Structure 1
Amino acid sequence: MRSLHTAGAVSARFDDPNLVSHAGLVPVMRLAERAGLGGLADELLTLGTTAGANAGAKVSTIVAGMAAGADSIDDLDIVRHGAMPRLFAGARAPSTLGTFLRGFALGHVAQLQNVATGVLAKLAAHDPRLLGGAGELAFLDIDSKITRVFGAGKDGAAFGYTKVRGLNFLAGCLSSPVCAPVITGTRLRGGQAHSARNAVSFVRANLATARACGATGTLVVRLDSGFYHGEILAAITEAGARFSVTAPQNPSVRAAIAGIGENAWQPIAYARPVYDQDSRTWVRAADVAEIPCTAFANPTRNGQRITARLVVRRVRDTARDATGELFPAYRYQAVFTNTGFDTVTAETHHRGRAGTIEQIFADLNDSALAHFPSGRFAANAAWLALAALAHNLLRAAGSLASRFHANARTATIRAHLVAVAARLARTARTTTLHLPQHWPRADSYLGLFTATHQPDPARRKPRTT
């Protein structure tokens, strides 16, 4: 492809009041209205200051900016250009939104999390495809993430295990074997926080959210070894869910692995190679076995005694084999679980945890969570909760648009369905969005637009006779 114009034969002007750069915000924010975003924010947020007035309009503006790709407070001005005032009312300026976020305390962040939970539940009820299959089998993945920050002045910023200054947060993600993950909850913590800090209450809250969103069947909570604690696993069991947690290579786990007979191992071949972090190689085959195991037998540590299955995967250690040892050398990875799946299925399901949670973190890094924008801890916690809300909103929009976008990255949804330029024209009291001719995702955009602009069944008045 090459330009058809020579230098000086083309010019650029920002002077058209009828253009918008993100016409996809029209159906996306209509979907947010149907999910009750503004109303829930007005009802549940009680900041009680002048900055906290009109919370619904301010929260909606931030979410709209994040859906368009804003990753800082100044970037939220993207919803106030061109003909946007003719499409949306009540959009607030970035300075107003910054003041609004700085007015948050941790209690207000909890209220905002309730708003996000309510919106997610309504989105799931509005489109059953969003969490399709979760009513039979669903996975709730809990993990922590450190986001790097710059400047020692940010509240809570510290050097954690990644050796960079950052803020640590917990995230819960709900998915099924046939649907992409949504975020059930977030919690911001200091940069030095270890994985299990405050995790018991967080797991309980996310289990409740998962049930409210339709995960009424078998619910498996998947965790890494940082959450290998008796109190956490007991809380999962008490809630009627199952757990699948990576077991650390402590003496009791190693002793249990040593007790597995050679005849118990069964070979498995991966349809797609699995990257092994320890050896930094791609693994195409392994052996799996299981053995009963009792964890947390010491009553003075980690809560309580729990007996479940230890599902173990072993992979040949080619580096040690090359040294000429007399017997094959293996590396072991163990999963402590009380699920009823067979050995291979239990190991396969747990291995899927990394891909799910890493997809969520990658999506957040590509959008609003590229960095934390404020120096105040509570403001950043509110920003994190709103980033999760915007993620779920885009996920719901993709589910309504097409089968492809139902499982696409949110960055792809944004590029295909939100960042679409349009020119507004008004005739006969009707506003028309004139979109680019031959747009490659036109069918998906129109599918989303049609689905969000049909009469809302929840608001239809019954006929009277």
Structure 2
Amino acid sequence: MIVEAGLRKGNARSGGSAEWYASRGLGVIGKIAPNRQVITRADSAFCTHAHVTAVTDAGAWFSITIPQWKTVTAAIAAIPEEDWVGIEYPEAVWDEQAGGWVSDAEVAETAFTAFTSRRTDEHVTCRLVVRRVKRLGGNASHGQDTLFDTHRHHAFITNSTLTTIDADRRHRGHAVIEQVISELKHGRALRVETVVN
């Protein structure tokens, strides 16, 4: 069910007015499915203070990919090696950077404070959940000093109470949806092939 949609004029930023759409959409969901815990998923274009605030004000959970800000990379580097646990995906996830499908990885999490460039009372305390995938081929290197060369890290922030693995699986559902949308845009989902024997 689509609860909120709209066309924007001109070359609009992906995350533009996200808080407005989130507030309206979550308001509708609250009316048609009251007392349900809602989780919103979004990519890094929507990782803004205004959007996160709109979601939390509506009583929903957020699960939003976060850019590789310095605070994020520092938090990832501080995660102890023993905290990483394996995860397998029921359906493979498309990895843009690798240009291929990923069916297993490792995940970990740490406490995180987002939007620290804002006033202290506007900081958002949440969880930073990170998925890491080993780099393959000639780009891979080894050693403690090459943490970000041996793995690709995909991080998101969330306020959910899901386990680390469940939070990652739920968030990765967003990537599956984006892949379907991409296929629809490029007509691949509508292509029919006929085989004649």
| TM-score between both structures, scaled by the size of structure 1 | 0.37
Change over 3 Å in CA distance of 1:257–1:357 after alignment to 2? same
Change over 3 Å in CA distance of 1:235–1:360 after alignment to 2? same
CA contact (8 A) 2:63 2:159 kept: yes
Return the letter of the residue paired with 1:356. I
Give the C-alpha shift of residue 235 in structure 1: 1.2
- Which digits, 9 at most, give the CA deviation of each residue in 1:184-217, with x for residues without a partner? 1112113321122222111100001112222531
Alignment of 1:133-144 (within 5 A): none
Work out the CA distance in 2 between the residues paired with 1:294 and 1:229: 13
| Equivalent pairs, count | 183
Alignment of 1:190-269 (within 5 A): 190-214=9-33, 216-269=35-88
**Which secondary structure state, in structure 1, belongs to the residue aligned with residue 12 of structure 2?**
coil
CA contact (8 A) 2:66 2:157 kept: yes
Give yes or no for the alignment of 1:318 onto 2:136. yes
CA contact (8 A) 1:231 1:304 kept: no
Give the C-alpha shift of residue 219 in structure 1: 0.4
- Give ranges in structure 2 of 5+ residues lacking alignment: 191-197
**Which secondary structure state, in structure 2, belongs to the residue aligned with residue 285 of structure 1?**
strand
Change over 3 Å in CA distance of 1:191–1:361 after alignment to 2? farther
Return the letter of the residue paired with 1:309. R
- Which digits, 9 at most, give the CA deviation of each residue in 1:64-93, with x for residues without a partner? xxxxxxxxxxxxxxxxxxxxxxxxxxxxxx
**Match of 1:36?**
none
Change over 3 Å in CA distance of 1:340–1:296 after alignment to 2? same
Give yes or no for the alignment of 1:337 onto 2:158. yes
- Which digits, 9 at most, give the CA deviation of each residue in 1:407-428, with x for residues without a partner? xx9x8xxxxxxxxxxxxxxxxx
Structure 1 vs Structure 2 CA RMSD: 2.4
**Which secondary structure state, in structure 1, belongs to the residue aligned with residue 98 of structure 2?**
coil
- Which digits, 9 at most, give the CA deviation of each residue in 1:95-120, with x for residues without a partner? xxxxxxxxxxxxxxxxxxxxxxxxxx
Which of 349, 359, 362 is the equivalent residue of 2:170? 349
- Which digits, 9 at most, give the CA deviation of each residue in 1:25-45, with x for residues without a partner? xxxxxxxxxxxxxxxxxxxxx
**Which secondary structure state, in structure 2, belongs to the residue aligned with residue 183 of structure 1?**
coil
Higher RCO structure (Cα 8 Å, ≥6 apart): 1
Give the C-alpha shift of residue 356 in structure 1: 3.0
Return the letter of the residue paired with 1:233. V
Work out the CA distance in 2 between the residues paired with 1:205 and 1:357: 22
Structure whose CA Rg is larger: 1
CA contact (8 A) 2:66 2:155 kept: yes
Give yes or no for the alignment of 1:294 onto 2:110. no
**Which secondary structure state, in structure 2, belongs to the residue aligned with residue 202 of structure 1?**
helix
Work out the CA distance in 2 between the residues paired with 1:305 and 1:311: 18
Work out the CA distance in 2 between the residues paired with 1:214 and 1:354: 25
Q: Which structure carries more strand by proportion?
A: 2
Work out the CA distance in 2 between the residues paired with 1:255 and 1:242: 25
Work out the CA distance in 1 between the residues paired with 2:142 and 2:105: 20
Give the C-alpha shift of residue 263 in structure 1: 0.4
Give the C-alpha shift of residue 364 in structure 1: 8.3
| TM-score between both structures, scaled by the size of structure 2 | 0.83
- Which digits, 9 at most, give the CA deviation of each residue in 1:301-357, with x for residues without a partner? xx92101000000000113xx357333700000010000000000000010013235
Change over 3 Å in CA distance of 1:209–1:363 after alignment to 2? farther
Return the letter of the residue paired with 1:326. H
**Which secondary structure state, in structure 1, belongs to the residue aligned with residue 5 of structure 2?**
strand
Change over 3 Å in CA distance of 1:201–1:183 after alignment to 2? same
Work out the CA distance in 2 between the residues paired with 1:324 and 1:244: 29
Identity in percent:
34
Work out the CA distance in 2 between the residues paired with 1:269 and 1:198: 35
